[in-house]
């Protein structure tokens, strides 16, 4: 570790240490960890580094300890206690899936459809199944005025994180403001009181096939298995239950959007197309949409 209290030298040391352990975003992570310790934003850390302004030795000691943990591939978000998702800063930690940038695109599809429903009818009913930290539900609730969002999570630890985020974001205002109703329950059977009335069902369920162990230690060792593995030989056993629930919940013409792995695009479309309601197809033919990197990452279909 560098001598003295100059932040530029400490950031360089941290970036080098993280690079050596395979962290792809080493410099960014180093700056974010120092920002977390100093209770400032990343821009201020960079300003301090340019000025080579002195930083308190105790803060640097705490920073070094966090760098050691990050070098061991503990998730950055577990160290800072927060994860960015669209315009939100969500509380996360052990026991809940850390929201990913690709899921922001899934949320955008739900947000766009909710806005169309509000424009047409004055309000929108949105359901987020397997909500995890509450990321998608809170994005919809805070970006679509008039959206009434119902979020379902079965796992006790993840539900506790979602409850914390719902309370912190402040969704739940009176009047025509958007709000979030958080329910602890099975995504396959919950919210029976909403059957046939929902405008949008969105989900980022567990979908990783049982043999596909994630490459990154941050995911494999720290994200809860219950949020990763979708069961069945193809990883789509849980998504099948979620899809059947979506068919039950949606009104005719309502939209379903579900995240999946890029290798599951064809299987996910077939899964949606196979749903039957009243002896006929439950959905119009499913389509695949891409994330911002051009990878096929979600299935989208309208309720017949």
What is the spatial distance between Cα 202 and Cα 155, in angstroms, rounded to a whole number?
18
- The C-alpha angle with vertex 244 and arms to 239 and 248, in degrees rounded to 5, equals 140
Cβ atoms of 255 and 113 within 8 Å: the answer is yes
pLDDT at 146: 94
Q: List the domain boundaries for the chain.
A: 7-72, 96-302
What is the spatial distance between Cα 24 and Cα 269, in angstroms, rounded to a whole number?
33
User: Exposed/middle/buried for 265, CB within 10 Å: 0-12, 13-18, 19+?
Assistant: buried
pLDDT at 176: 45
DSSP output for 53-96: ----HHHHHHHHHHHHHHHTT--HHHHHSEEEETTEEEE--TTS
pLDDT at 173: 46
What is the spatial distance between Cα 94 and Cα 222, in angstroms, rounded to a whole number?
7
Alpha carbon of 169 to those of 102, 104, 134, 165: distances in Å?
22, 17, 10, 6
pLDDT, tens only, 81-109: 999 999 999 999 999 999 999 999 999 99
Alpha carbon of 275 to those of 109, 130, 186, 234: distances in Å?
21, 19, 19, 17
Q: Which of 252, 304, 256, 302 is nearest to 279 (CA)?
A: 304
pLDDT at 49: 83
Alpha carbon of 167 to those of 62, 91, 170, 233: distances in Å?
29, 11, 5, 38
CATH superfamily membership of 96-302: Vaccinia Virus protein VP39 (3.40.50.150)
pLDDT, tens only, 121-178: 999 999 999 999 999 999 999 999 999 999 999 999 999 999 999 999 874 444 445 6
pTM for the model:
0.92
Place of tokens 């100059």: 6
What is the spatial distance between Cα 127 and Cα 250, in angstroms, rounded to a whole number?
9
Q: Which of 101, 175, 176 is nearest to 139 (CA)?
A: 101
pLDDT in tens, the chain (304 residues): 665 667 788 999 999 999 999 999 999 999 999 999 999 999 999 988 888 788 888 999 999 999 999 999 999 999 999 999 999 999 999 999 999 999 999 999 999 999 999 999 999 999 999 999 999 999 999 999 999 999 999 999 999 999 999 999 874 444 445 689 999 999 999 999 999 999 999 999 999 988 777 888 888 888 888 888 888 889 999 999 999 999 999 999 999 999 999 999 999 999 999 999 988 999 999 999 999 899 999 999 999 9
pLDDT at 1: 65
Q: Which of 89, 74, 98, 14 is nearest to 49 (CA)?
A: 14
Q: Which residues are annotated as a binding site?
A: 153, 204-207
Q: Which residues are annotated as a binding site for substrate?
A: 204-207
Q: Which residues are annotated as a binding site for S-adenosyl-L-methionine?
A: 153, 204
Q: Where are the alpha helices (DSSP H) in the chain?
A: 7-20, 26-38, 42-51, 57-71, 76-80, 101-121, 135-143, 156-169, 217-220, 225-228, 237-249, 265-273
Cβ atoms of 243 and 230 within 8 Å: the answer is no
What is the spatial distance between Cα 182 and Cα 131, in angstroms, rounded to a whole number?
9
């Amino acid at each position: 570790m560098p001598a003295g209290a100059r932040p530029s030298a400490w950031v360089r040391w941290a970036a080098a240490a993280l690079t050596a352990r395979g962290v792809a975003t080493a410099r960014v992570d180093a700056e974010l960890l120092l920002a977390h310790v100093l209770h400032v934003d990343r821009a201020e850390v960079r300003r301090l580094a340019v000025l080579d302004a002195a930083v308190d030795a105790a803060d640097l000691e705490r920073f070094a300890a966090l760098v050691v943990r990050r070098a061991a591939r503990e998730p950055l978000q577990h160290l800072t206690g927060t994860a960015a998702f669209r315009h939100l800063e969500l509380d996360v930690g052990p026991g809940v899936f850390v929201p990913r940038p690709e899921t922001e695109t899934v949320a955008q599809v739900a947000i766009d459809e909710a806005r169309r429903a509000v424009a047409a009818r004055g309000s929108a009913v949105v359901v987020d199944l397997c909500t995890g930290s509450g990321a998608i539900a809170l994005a919809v609730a805070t970006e679509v005025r008039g959206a009434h969002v119902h979020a379902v999570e079965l796992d006790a630890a993840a539900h506790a994180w979602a409850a914390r985020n719902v309370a912190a974001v402040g969704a739940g205002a009176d009047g025509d403001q958007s709000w979030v109703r958080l329910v602890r329950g099975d995504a396959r059977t919950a919210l029976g009181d909403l059957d046939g009335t929902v405008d949008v069902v969105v989900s980022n369920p567990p979908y990783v096939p049982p043999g596909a162990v994630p490459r990154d230690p941050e995911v494999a060792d720290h994200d809860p298995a219950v949020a990763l593995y979708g069961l069945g030989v193809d990883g789509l056993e849980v998504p099948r239950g979620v899809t059947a629930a979506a068919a039950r919940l949606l009104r005719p013409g309502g939209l379903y959007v579900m995240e999946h792995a890029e290798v599951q695009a064809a299987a996910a479309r077939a899964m949606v197309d196979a749903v039957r309601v009243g002896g006929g197809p439950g959905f119009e033919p499913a389509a695949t949409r891409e994330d911002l990197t051009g990878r096929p990452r979600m299935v989208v279909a309208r309720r017949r």
